[in-house]
Copies of this chain bind each other. A is one copy, B any other.
Amino acid sequence: MMIRTITLIGAGNLATQTGKALKKAGLEIRQVYSRTEQSARELADLLTTTFTHKTEEIDLSADLVLVAVKDDAIEEVLACLDCRQTLLAHTAGSVPMQLLEKHTNRFGVFYPLQTFSKKRDVDFSEIPICLEANSAETLNELKELAFRISGHVQEIDSAKRKILHLAAVFSCNFVNHFYYLGDQLLEQHQLNFDLLKPLIRETAGKVMELRPFDAQTGPAKRFDETIINNHLSLLGNQPELAEIYNFVSGSIFQAHKNS
């Protein structure tokens, strides 16, 4: 069976961007569910479809019910549904596929590895979509769907998907937090964040070609104590930042001291 119609459970960042990509690829988004009516309506408007905030009204007749809510909410929503005949897939990095087993006999995972914000559209064609399914048939259905929006579709089991999610937290969420800390420092001294943008682009650009280990530069790698102490004294009135600085510098030094 080819998936042509989708009910979307969730209206957050991932649901919004994935829904837009699927609709653009010609899929019919039959309905959007969200716990809050307003979120459901907003995304439904964007996808020109219907919506509900009541679990009993969720349209289970779609070819696929895609569950794109917070991890803890997956079980909560599914507990309300009678979906034994439905193809179910969740989109979560860290939730094992087997969580779906007790709800239906056709299930899988459809995990797009990307950082999504509602208001920033992304090019889905480059996003790795990690798939898992409880049968070869279901895997094929999900694969056919995934290839309609991305050129990078891979089968990855729940154990490896967890690791991928963890690595993504390091390489995306933590990275963004360091952009934020840099931004804060500049703001405190009336300097513009734009100054850092070429550096941020190049830092990301470098690891497209070099291994991150080989791309490393800066005082911690060289163990340049003068600069490190200088920086720590600049952070004298921000002990939390100084602690992070010390900690991450130590970790960089450990990684490079024998190289």
Contact = CB atoms under 8 A, between A and B. Distances in A.
A214 B117 CA distance: 9
B172 A218 contact: yes
A34 B167 CA distance: 40
Q: Is the interface of A mostly helix, strand, loop or mixed?
A: helix
A226 interface: yes
A84 interface: no
Given A167-B185, A176-B207, A248-B174, A198 B114 contact: yes
Contact of A215 (B117, B210, B252): B117
Contact of A202 (B115, B206, B221, B231): B115
Contacts of A163: 185-186, 188-189, 191, 234
Contacts of A178: 170-171, 174-175, 178
B206 A176 contact: yes
Contacts of A189: 160, 163
Nearest to A196: B171
A189 B162 CA distance: 11
Contacts of A221: 173
B207 A168 contact: no
Given A71-B224, A114-B202, A198-B126, A167 B186 contact: yes
22 contacts: A13-B217, A94-B230, A113-B196, A113-B198, A114-B198, A126-B201, A127-B198, A128-B198, A160-B191, A167-B182, A167-B183, A169-B220, A169-B245, A170-B185, A171-B178, A171-B203, A174-B252, A175-B200, A176-B206, A176-B216, A176-B217, A244-B247
Contacts of A251: 177, 181, 240, 244
Given A176-B217, A177-B251, 13 more contacts: A115-B218, A164-B191, A168-B196, A170-B179, A170-B182, A171-B179, A171-B183, A171-B199, A172-B199, A173-B220, A179-B207, A179-B212, A193-B212
A122 B202 CA distance: 8
A200 B191 contact: no
A114 B199 contact: yes
Contacts of A186: 163-164, 167
